[in-house]
Amino acid sequence: MKKSLLFLLLFFGFAIQGAFAQKEQDADTLLWNGKRYTVSVDRNVPTVVMSYFQRVGADAPFQSWSLNNSRGHIAQLELINNEIRVNTIEAKRFKTRTGNLWTETGIDTIVSPDYFQISPLAKEQPLGESAVVADWYSGILEMRLLAKDKKEQKSDEARGTRYLNVVNGQVVDNVLISDKLMAEYQSGRAKLGHDQAKVYYMNERFKEFYLHCASDREEVTYNGHKGLFQQRANGLTLVMEFFGNDPLQCGSNWIGVPSVNGAPFGSWLLRNDSLFVSEIKTHNSSGQDRQQMFDYLADSVVGGMTFCHRRFVHDSCYFADWISGEYVIHYGSWQTNSFGVSDYVVSKTQEIRVKDGVVVSSKFSPRSFEEDEAEMAATSFVLCNEANVWSVDDKQLAEAVGNFKAPKKSPEYEGGKTALRNWFLNHPLTDERAKERLFRVRIGFMVNCKGEAGRWQVISKGKGELFEFSNMVLDIVKTMPQKWSSAEGKKGNKVDCWQVLEFTVSNGTLTNANYK
């Protein structure tokens, strides 16, 4: 009985919490033809005001003031001559240049957009006017009439939803769908008109676009370690930053045919203190579609945008010199919890500051991968004599670790090269991209006088995906049975010695494993 009661309490607790979490935001209002409308605000969709800060690449100054207003503001809009304007903004708690300003009543915080330095992007703000033309905004405004009396409550306008399709602040479609027609349409007893269907479905894709921007994550690889970028506050995706966070400039959004709709997400490489994008996928309700990256980004040239400052393309990876700002990367893995839900479990966090695609500062928590490897090498692998190191004769190895005298007998694998090759044939790369490639990987390592192996490092040259694949091979090598015999010096004594492993990787399989 006690267990059942506890279950019910937990169930209702989660239900109540979910009900609050799913509450719709306090609505903006819009004036049009002497009537006032509420503007529906989906939790994932930016308001007209919030989209301004997205476009200029700045954090919004507003802070949440209630469960029902996590965006921290309410705007009064107006539609004049098919032009959306922002008249006033109400905010109870927000950041100013002097810190946080608190006020007990909203009346003192109803201010003009200029108070938050909001102005049109493409046109001059008329002198003496406080209302601002929202030429930065493109999207669908979903509105309901605030009826003034019982007579107006019975009007067609009050018994339906009005949709405004807005492009750069200009209304290009304005349709009303009655509640009755919508109910009949959803039950299959009626059809929407052409203009109604066009804007209605555009609105569905519009909300889906921002849902993916808010909930999906972009992947990043750093020295073979995979992580996820944390979304920036009020931000979209790193790919969208290439287009100035203007969805209408990118190759997919909510306007075109459904097959090309979606939010663009990148797969990123962080290497040599620079950020590269290696792949772009479009996320939508039907899944993910891989895009031809050059064609996707080159679409912006048609729109008059610059294709990167230097248009640097290398190994099918594009140097992301349009990226500047502070970002957070979470490294970890997807795991299924006790409820059967997939969670991303974070093991390490990296904070980076990027200037024109170059990482100018990096901070790991708890510490970097390199520091982990250094400690592991220091604690688990020790040379017998640091002052008496030998090495097999290999040019790439010498370039990586230095020149040392050659041993009389090199380190050898117990069971010979046949046993070594058989083990690696049964441990291929699992990345699907590697199954379409043919390349070589060479790895340097040390075998001490006790036959212990360590200090592993990739010594072959490779960039882009090859660099990433080489580190995947390195991860596999570190898991192999370490059964090595020590090298012998000139007098037959056991010595510490560098050795080389080399592979041909064909369709993901590690073939021709060999050593000196």
SS (H, E, C) 84-123: EEEEEEECCEEEECCEEEECCCHHHHEECHHHHCCCCCCC
* Section 88-93 average pLDDT: 90
Q: Give how far the C-alpha of residue 149 lies from the chain's centroid of Cα atoms, to the nearest Å.
A: 48
Q: How many helices (H) and strands (E) does the chain have?
A: 11, 29
Give yes or no for a contact between 516 and 394, defined as CB atoms under 8 angstroms apart. Answer: yes
In the beta sheet, which residues pair with residue 502? 442, 514
Residues in the chain: 516
The answer, as to whether pTM is greater than 0.85, is no
Q: Say whether pLDDT at 17 is over 60.
A: no
| SS3 call for 508 | coil
Tokens of 103: 């006020």
Q: What is the pLDDT of residue 161?
A: 96
Give yes or no for a contact between 447 and 496, defined as CB atoms under 8 angstroms apart. Answer: yes
Nearest to 205 by CA among 284, 144, 141, 280: 284
Q: Say whether pLDDT at 129 is over 60.
A: yes
Give yes or no for a contact between 200 and 219, defined as CB atoms under 8 angstroms apart. Answer: no
Pairing of strands 484-485, 263-271: unpaired
Nearest to 63 by CA among 91, 26, 30: 91
Could you say which DSSP state residue 448 is in? -
Instruction: Look up residue 122 and give its amino acid.
Output: A
| SS3 call for 38 | strand
Q: How confident is the model at residue 381 (pLDDT cuts 50, 70, 90)?
A: confident
Cα separation, 135 vs 150, in Å, equals: 36
**If you average pLDDT over each of 22-26, 248-252, 326-330, which comes out highest?**
326-330
Nearest to 503 by CA among 479, 476, 465: 476
Tokens of 403: 């020149």
Write down the residue that tokens 């008249």 correspond to.
87
Nearest to 363 by CA among 375, 353, 378: 353
> What are the tens digits of pLDDT across the range 449-473?
999 998 899 999 887 788 888 989 9
More confident site: 318 or 509:
509
Compute φ and ψ for 248, nearest 5 degrees: -70, -15
Q: What is the largest CA-CA distance in the chain?
A: 108
* Section 307-333 average pLDDT: 73
Q: For the chain, give every domain's residue range.
A: 24-181, 216-365, 381-515
Instruction: Say which residues have a Cβ less than 8 Å from residue 443's Cβ, sequence separation at least 6.
Output: 456, 457, 458, 459, 460, 473, 474, 477, 500, 501, 502
| SS3 call for 135 | coil
Q: How confident is the model at residue 43 (pLDDT cuts 50, 70, 90)?
A: confident
Cα separation, 92 vs 69, in Å, equals: 10
Cα separation, 54 vs 322, in Å, equals: 15
Tokens of 241: 């930053």
Q: What is the pLDDT of residue 42?
A: 83
Of 133-142, 169-178, 471-480, 483-492, the least confident = 471-480
Cα separation, 53 vs 86, in Å, equals: 14
Cα separation, 39 vs 27, in Å, equals: 5
